Each structure stands twice: as structure tokens, then as C-alpha cells.
Amino acid sequence: MDKIRVKAEIMSAISEEIDLWLDKSATIKDGYEYETEFIKITQNVNKVMLSKSLGKVSSDRNKKKLQTCFGKLEVSKGHILCMHTEKFCVSSKMQEIICLVANNSVFEESSDILQSLLGVDISGKQIQRISEHYGQKLEELEENYQ
């Protein structure tokens, strides 16, 4: 990875996001909207930083679309972010967040919560599959300890 080139790409993209924010923020007349729009910009900045730091994806067969905490990204299959994603194409951290949210709400509500908090679009059905998978794993571990 060419650190200088990647850093320049990240800084350029972030500079564009900051310009968008400064233009938009000057026209906002409501505190709720101000904060909501600021969150959207910071989510975009996070996604840009993550996507630019992933490096180049070489070919169609060596990449996958991966749901992360910052949205869907194309990632090289050999990248560290793809560890433990075989079943769901969801990053490990996002799987953890899904389980935490789904533990306290029904799956469709979890989908709405993740959309509201992270700006991530993930279906209630996918949340259910991930939750039930790890619930089963926990049950198996519990049985082995008894």
C-alpha cells in the first residue's frame, strides 16, 4: 500500500465532505436538522476512510461486497475485514452490533435502529439469521460446559 497516495486520496475526499458540510450547515435553521446532517457527513467521512484504506481490489473473482458499520464496500477476499464473513458477508464488528441491537428488540425494529443510528440498510431477515446463528453457537458452548 502506498501510504502517501492513500492518505492524499483520503484527505481529498474528506475535504470534499467538509465543503459539503460547510455549505449545507450555513442554510440549516433547526438544531435537530443540524445535528442529523452532521452525523450523515461524519458517516460519509468514516466510509471514505475505510474504503480508501482497503487498497485496490484486483479482479471480480477475488472480491466480495461486505456489509460494514459504514455501509456496503467492495473488499478483496483476502483482506482482514473478510475474516469470519463466509456465512453472511457482514463484517465481524457489524455482526457484533447486530447481535447487541437484536438482543433487545425484534428483528424489523433492529433494522430500523441500525438505519437510524448508523445509516446502514440491513434487513430484518438478515438480522434474524445472524442472531440465530450466534444464539445457536452460544447454546452449544453452554451445553459443553454443563
* Statement to judge: residues 99 and 140 lie in one domain: yes
pTM (two decimals):
0.85
* Statement to judge: residues 61 and 85 lie in one domain: yes
Tell me the β-bridge partners of 73. Answer: 66
- In tens, the pLDDT along 15-36 reads 999 999 999 999 999 999 999 9
* Statement to judge: residues 45 and 65 lie in one domain: no
Tell me: pLDDT of 59 over 80. Answer: no
Per-residue pLDDT, averaged over 134-146, amounts to 88
Residue 1 pLDDT: 60
Indicate the residue type of 25: S
- In tens, the pLDDT along 98-132 reads 999 999 999 999 999 999 999 999 999 999 999 99
**Domain limit, last residue, from 34, 53, 72:** 53
Task: Tell me the residue range of the domain where 37 lies.
Answer: 1-53
Alpha helices in 26-91 (DSSP H): 31-53
Task: Output b/e per residue, 73-111; b: 16+ Cβ within 10 A.
Answer: bebbeebebbeebeebebbeebbebbbebbeeeebeebb
Neighbours of 54 (CB within 10 A): 19
Task: For residue 92, give the C-alpha cell.
Answer: 465481524
Q: How far is 42 from 35, CA to CA, in rounded Å?
A: 10
Tell me: pLDDT of 43 over 80. Answer: yes
Angle CA(138)–CA(82)–CA(79) in degrees, nearest 5? 145
* Statement to judge: residues 30 and 85 lie in one domain: no
SS3 of residue 76 by DSSP? strand
Q: How many domains does the chain have?
A: 2
Element counts in the chain: helices (H) and strands (E): 5, 2
Per-residue pLDDT, averaged over 63-85, amounts to 92
**Domain limit, last residue, from 53, 75, 97:** 53
Residue 86 pLDDT: 85
Contact 63, 38 (CB under 8 A): no
